[in-house]
Amino acid sequence: MSGIVGSRLNNRGSGLVGSLGTDGQVFTSAGAGAGAVFEAAAGGGGKILQIQHYVNETATSIGNTTTMTSTAVTDQITPSADSSKILVMMNIIIGNYDSDGVGNRVQAELRRSIDGGAFSAIYQDDGNVYAGVVGFGMSGEGSSSFPSTLVFVDSPSTTDAIDYTWYMCQAWNNDAGDSANTGPSSLDSSVTLMEIDGS
């Protein structure tokens, strides 16, 4: 009988002499005209290593300010490797209130803090205006709400704890009574963070 001698695949016969691989190796071809060998498995890039999920029941009200303001829509994850990528998904219902019929719009962006440091914008910027418009053509106050989602793949290059937070502000200083919030009528918002193997 021919085959591989000295391996668990065939312990009898003659032919190519093989050996057991080590833990984590795979049995594969060494190329055309060459015998099969044990080699390291291919990289595991793309695998989901962990998931963090948070449902927020606290609405954050944003007054008449054009300064980006942090909200309660936030969650933290600690990557297991500095080569990992983080898929960030945030889903909220934005509530928008216009006090005078002229109109009101909001802006939002995703910010990140590493190891308790300062928050910095990583997706969208304060030039992006959301389409939540109320008030135009009305004689008085009005309100509206609409779903909004931010999805971003981050490459933080760290194994320190990372906080991701939804920031929001008014698009312009229109009227002191205008406002927006992240949870009208007690509607929940959610944050999902996935660590993805980047190797």
pLDDT of 17 = 46
Residue 85 exposure: Cα atoms within 13 Å on the Cβ side: 13
5-51 pLDDT, tens digit each: 444 554 455 555 456 667 657 667 666 777 677 666 665 678 999 99
Contact call for residues 71 and 165 (beta carbons, < 8 A): yes
Q: Provide the residue ranges of all domains of the chain, joining segments of one domain with +.
A: 1-42, 48-196
Which ranges of the chain have pLDDT less than 70?
Answer: 1-21, 23-24, 26-27, 29-31, 35, 38-44, 100-103, 125-142, 173-177, 185
End-to-end, the C-alpha distance of the chain in Å comes to: 42
Rounded Cα distance between 164 and 26, Å, is 38
Tokens encoding 144: 């509206």
- Three-state DSSP state, 63: coil
Rounded Cα distance between 25 and 9, Å, is 15
Closest CA to 76 of 158, 188, 198: 158
pLDDT of 117 = 97
Tokens encoding 139: 């004689």
Neighbours of 51 (CB within 10 A): 11
H-run or E-run covering 87: strand 85-98
Look up the CATH number of domain 48-196: 2.60.120
DSSP-based helix, strand, coil % in the chain, nearest 5: 0, 50, 50
Closest CA to 95 of 126, 70, 73, 62: 62
Rounded Cα distance between 109 and 120, Å, is 10
> Which amino acid appears at position 115 of this protein?
D
pLDDT of 65 = 81
pLDDT of 95 = 81
